[in-house]
Amino acid sequence: MINYWPTASGEPPPDMPHCGYDGSLCDHTKHIVLGAGLVIALVSIPLGYYLYRRGKEKQLYDMTWRIPRESVRLLDAAFGLKMLENENLNKFYGICFNQHNELLILWVLIARGSLEDILFNEEMKLSRNFQVSFAKDVVKGLLYLHTSAVQYHGLLCLQNCLVDSSWTIKLTNFCTEIIVAEKLARNEIKEMHKDVDDDIEFANGSRSNCVAFVLNFFALKQIKL
């Protein structure tokens, strides 16, 4: 009888399987190694990616310029400053504590410098028109502050009048004493510099702004062109 058995050759199957009845006659080392390698790859690739991400995140966390998220807290005064938008006010970014637990108040960097740097630079001669323009910019910035929720500057001086790339005055460091006062009230500032009086009081209100502006305007008038 031909092709009776349903095998490729039509012959009956052997009496014993190729690898024996228990598979001991075949070498399965290659299959075991391939299977183990596949399992190791499936485990090590995600694990390696996870460890790589953790390492990169740690590098970012250790950078001195980075502000840790847990150090950032929203204050009422800080939120009010964030809402101020005027061409004669410097942009307020926020507050945080650095790695040395020092309070940092962040503003936009104005590279040209302060009005004091410009006016007392002997190598830079400005016309009277510049001085008049500077005074007008200061007045416009103060008027905006007086009609806003913050109501006053508090630290008006030549150092806090910044000059941007288009020679426009931008007032900065306004109402920072409110932020410090809130931090003190919440007991978040544990220690102050030895040169700072514990009973120090900041001059606030529109009247103090007017006095400070008169002094700054007098300084402008005294500059020799």
pLDDT per residue, tens digit, the chain (225 aa), is 556 667 676 677 777 777 777 777 787 788 888 989 999 989 999 999 999 999 888 887 776 666 666 655 555 666 777 788 889 998 888 777 777 777 778 888 888 888 888 888 878 777 788 888 888 898 898 888 888 877 777 777 788 889 998 899 999 888 776 666 655 666 655 555 444 444 444 445 555 545 455 555 555 555 544
| d(C-alpha 195, C-alpha 17), whole Å | 94
- The verdict on pTM exceeding 0.75 is no
Contacts of 155 (CB under 8 A, 6+ apart): 173, 174, 176, 177, 202
Q: Is 154 exposed, middle or buried (0-12, 13-18, 19+ CB in 10 A)?
A: buried
Q: Give the single-character DSSP code of 107.
A: E
Q: Give the single-character DSSP code of 184.
A: H
Q: Which helix (H) or strand (E) holds 170?
A: strand 169-171
Helix 206-222 to helix 128-146 angle (10° resolution) is: 180
Q: What is the pLDDT of residues 96-134, one digit of tens each?
A: 777 777 777 888 888 888 888 888 887 877 778 888 888
